[in-house]
Amino acid sequence: MIIVMKHGATPQQIANVVAQIEGMGFRAHLSQGVERTIIGIIGDERPLNPDQILFWEGVERVVPILRPFKLASRDFQPEDTTVNVNGVVIGGTKVVVIAGPCAVEGREQLLEAAHAVKAAGASMLRGGAFKPRTSPYSFQGLGVEGLRLLAEAREQTGLPVVTEVMAPEHVPIVAEYADVLQIGARNMQNFALLEAVGKARKPVLLKRGLMSTVEELLLAAEYILLQGNHQVILCERGIRTFEPYTRNTLDINAIPLLKQLTHLPVIVDPSHGTGRWNLVPAVSRAAVAAGADGLIIEVHPRPEAALSDGAQSLKPDRFAALMEELRRVAEAVGRTL
């Protein structure tokens, strides 16, 4: 449940309420809005009596939270969360575009892609060093060497780096090089991994599982938040349906729905969402129009030679053209790009 403090409740009254909650064995989550303070109670709250809490000084209301996710819920925190990655703010008015190759394949490929996406106006660089491939015979990524190359690309371009972490034991090394830790769709319910990135002090980009509901995505985010890491960015990347013409079906509904249910920023991956480069521009425009806080787009200097996901990767010139189109859509919905 949440405790809504009275307008003008004193810091002492707020501290007392927090102390009471903690004294009863719960954790308190403070959300200090402009108007008033909201205190969330974390833990199995069944033994709590809301009528009693109403007698605590400074308390205005006690509201039960009926949703299974709490920290991620808008009821818990009405204001949008913004995630600041080396000065790039996700969840604010600017639509943030993250772009780069599916996988880091080598120095030349990565640097070429990084400079191209930077020139086109991207705010962050993506690139997988540890790749979750369906087949064990497919290119698995360059591992730590890939992380080093990403750090070099950041040095050259100034773009913060997003890269996937696949195993809890890899979190320290990936966090050493990356600015944002990506949890891939296949790992959305790897709870040990979610807890490990929850303990890290780096923003997390959490991708929706291939067959996961919106609620399951939010509960996965809850695992990370519960460990004390509040810098979580959600990503709609398409779900598996009966439609074989596209790799996945991008759930456009999920964008406004997530924005209603949670305060966390929501970005969209039109590359995995479609699996086809020539669908990526239209779906990107739709995502921005629907309220996405950002996009993560695969761009490769030579998609035909890519070691993974070439079919869905844009060439740099097409990406640059798309950025121009997106700028106009962003403006039309009251945002910048």
Judged by the rule CB under 5 A, the positions of this chain that interact with Mn ion are 102, 309
| Residue with smaller CB distance to ligand PEP, 51 or 243 | 243
Q: Pick between residue 49 and residue 134 the one whose CB is nearest to ligand PEP.
A: 134
CB 125 within 8 A of CB 116: no
Give the interface segment with ligand PEP, choosing from 69-77, 78-86, 168-176, 178-186 (CB under 6 A).
178-186
Min. distance of Cβ 103 from Mn ion in angstroms?
7
Of 302, 337, 330, 334, give the one whose Cα is nearest residue 318. Answer: 302
> What is the closest distance, in whole angstroms, from the C-beta atom of residue 43 to Mn ion in the complex?
39
CA atoms of 311 and 138, how far apart (whole Å): 15
132 interface partner picked from ligand PEP, Mn ion, none, CB below 5 to 8 A per type: ligand PEP
Identify what 315 binds: Mn ion, ligand PEP, none; CB under 5 to 8 Å per kind.
none
Name the H helices within the chain: 11-23, 50-53, 107-120, 144-157, 171-177, 191-199, 214-226, 254-261, 270-274, 280-289, 316-332
Query: How many CA atoms lie less than 13 Å away from 128 in the CB half-sphere?
Result: 24
Q: Does 272 bind ligand PEP (CB under 6 A)?
A: yes
Taking each helix axis from N to C end, the angle separating 316-332 and 280-289, rounded to the nearest 10 degrees, works out to 20
Q: Which is nearer to Mn ion, 265 or 303 (CB)?
A: 303
Give the pairing type, strands 88-90 and 83-85.
antiparallel
Shortest distance (Å) from residue 296 CB to ligand PEP: 7
CA triplet 317, 320, 324: central angle to 5 degrees? 140
Q: Smallest distance from the beta carbon of 156 to ligand PEP, in angstroms?
A: 22
Out of 58, 100, 160, 184, the only residue in the binding site for ligand PEP (CB under 6 A) is 184
Angle between helices 107-120 and 144-157 (to 10 degrees): 40
**Residue for token digits 């707020």?**
14
Q: Where are the alpha helices (DSSP H) in 121-188?
A: 144-157, 171-177
Q: In what order do the strands lie in the sheet with 59-63?
A: 27-32, 37-42, 2-5, 59-63
Is residue 207 near ligand PEP by the rule CB under 6 A?
yes
27 binds, among Mn ion, ligand PEP, none (CB under 5 to 8 A by kind): none
Is position 185 an interface residue for ligand PEP (rule: CB under 6 A)?
yes
Question: And the tokens for 68?
Answer: 């299974």
Q: Is the CB of 75 or the CB of 179 nearer to ligand PEP?
A: 179
Q: Which is nearer to ligand PEP, 36 or 276 (CB)?
A: 276
DSSP label at residue 128: B
Binding mask 98-137 for ligand PEP (x = CB under 6 A): ----x-------------------------x---x-----
Give how many residues touch ligand PEP by CB under 6 A.
10
Applying CB under 6 A, which residues contact ligand PEP?
102, 128, 132, 184-186, 207, 237, 269, 272
